[in-house]
Amino acid sequence: MRAHLLILLLALLTSCAAAFQIPWEALPFASRLQSAVFDKLYWAASPAPQTKVISLRHVYHQGTVRYPGLSARLDLGDGSISASSSDSNNIRGVLRTKRVKTWKPRDTRDYLHAHRNGDGIGIKSSLNDMDWDEIEVDAPDVQDRETLLTLAKMASKAYEEPSKKGDGDWTIGGKQEWNLSSSFGWENDGIRGHVFATEDNSTVVVALKGTSAALLDNGSTSKRDKDNDNLFFSCCCARVGWTWHTVCDCYEDGQKAQSSAASLSPGSSSDQQTCGSTCLSKALIKKSFYYPATTDLFNNISYAYPNSQIWITGHSLGGALGAMLGMTFGNPTVTFEAPAERMAALRLHLPLPTKHGKLHELPITHVYHTADPIPMGECIGAASLCANFGFAMESRCHSGHTILYDTVEKLGWSSSVVTHRIATLVEDLLLEDWDKKVSKAKAKLNNKTETSRWRFPWSRKDQDEPDEEKVGSVPRLRSEAKCRDCSDWKFTDDDGKDSVGLGI
């Protein structure tokens, strides 16, 4: 009834504007009324939210350094994955979808084979021959808070270890016979992904485990994770200071290139640090065991669910690896507090559909907040918050789109590595609409300052001062297309050409 009245009022207002030749934007409340009508029509035409039971079906594991080629799958049917977990593997939550455009490569076999073997020439050759299909798929409605909350709970579940730990409970694949009874290799080496599915298997969600730092879980894989974090997300091999153990030698190559350039051009100097861009690309391709292992894990899952719509999610490193999968295969991806992965993706020469669209148009969404220094790219230098833990998380630019919660300005939070926990997003941000949380924080601040209603410079805050515009249940989508990584570095390629920033 209310929607019909709004439509009649909008029609009457439109007729009056046409009769008296009054510009539409000059009418009072015109745009606000039009927006309200469109909102009512949208929700009236939209189907009722469908509550689905998302069950944890499998735990997949892919070996990396110690057990290369290992593929393991644990099928879950008894309803518990750890003593600390809830009584059920089911996550009951709202999953709203929307149709989005994406690009899928027709055949990635040659490309992935070259990546698995560290063949840089083969990677570039396969990319040149790659064909793409532009398609529409169902994707998570990332502007719906309850959908984000459901996905974040899945990302959190990925940190829980399965209670079944006997070799007989796992289906083991690979070309070798694995003797894991003593070491149980997939706990200390590899990539772990939890597979959730709806009751009809129409939608499958792959949740990738993130970095196992001490503040996140038991730290069983933290050494491998830290090496890959520093390789992926530092400007140049985790060269933070002279006391740091670097993960590749490209900084020294850059010094040599700088010295050669100085000898050719006497008197020239540069205040910027120098790094070899070709060296960086080769190092990531040869040393980043996590990317090829993640693609192998994803191929195993997609083979098991050939007719399902597969989404990807993950927290921290798991989110960054998930975004790289989203780029490689064109699948919708939602990450939580993931370090910026665009720089690593370009250095790895991922199969990006740049001929068909922009990188920020891919169906990839990153959710994080301003008090988390890791996705914000604030872990720069030996005095940074992350350096105390041995991490050089210096990248700043994400692919796709971003949902950024401004917890520093709106809620008064302080920047801290502790806020990087997935529980912070789930319990402190996603359980309540963002505009309501901001309003409560503002009211709390006003109560503290109620005793003094005068503000510098000598102006009075009136009771009828308009409130700031509401931002909705989640912050608006934004693009980081204009973001620039590592602008304080100079990168030199094999031809002796210099470039500032990124280093690809």
Both tokens of residue 200? Answer: 């009809």
> Which run of H or E residues covers position 500?
strand 498-500
- Say which residue the tokens 């790659």 belong to: 130
Compute the distance between CA of residue 211 and CA of residue 387 in angstroms, rounded to an integer.
15
Q: Which of 234, 316, 384, 395 is catalytic?
A: 316
Say how many residues make up the chain. Answer: 504
Identify the H or E element spanning 257.
Answer: helix 250-264
Rg (CA), the chain: 25
Residue 310 near residue 204, CB atoms below 8 Å: yes
Q: Which SS3 state, helix, strand or coil, does residue 368 take?
A: strand
The CA dihedral of 407, 151, 43, 401, to the nearest 10 degrees, is 60
202 catalytic residue (yes or no): no
Nearest to 335 by CA among 362, 357, 358, 354: 362
**Number of Cβ within a 10 Å radius of residue 176:** 10
Chain position carrying tokens 């991490």: 391
Tell me which residue has tokens 């000898």: 263
CA dihedral 26→29→34→37, nearest 10 degrees, is: -160
If DSSP codes are grouped into helix, strand and coil, which group holds residue 226?
helix
Angle between helices 290-304 and 317-329 (to 10 degrees): 60
Question: Which stretch of DSSP H or E encloses residue 309?
Answer: strand 309-315
Return the structure tokens found at 145.
């808070």
Residues 6+ positions from 127 with CB-CB distance below 8 Å: 111, 349, 351
> Identity (one letter) of the amino acid at 189?
D
* 3-state secondary structure at position 222: helix
Question: Looking at the annotation, which residues are catalytic?
Answer: 316
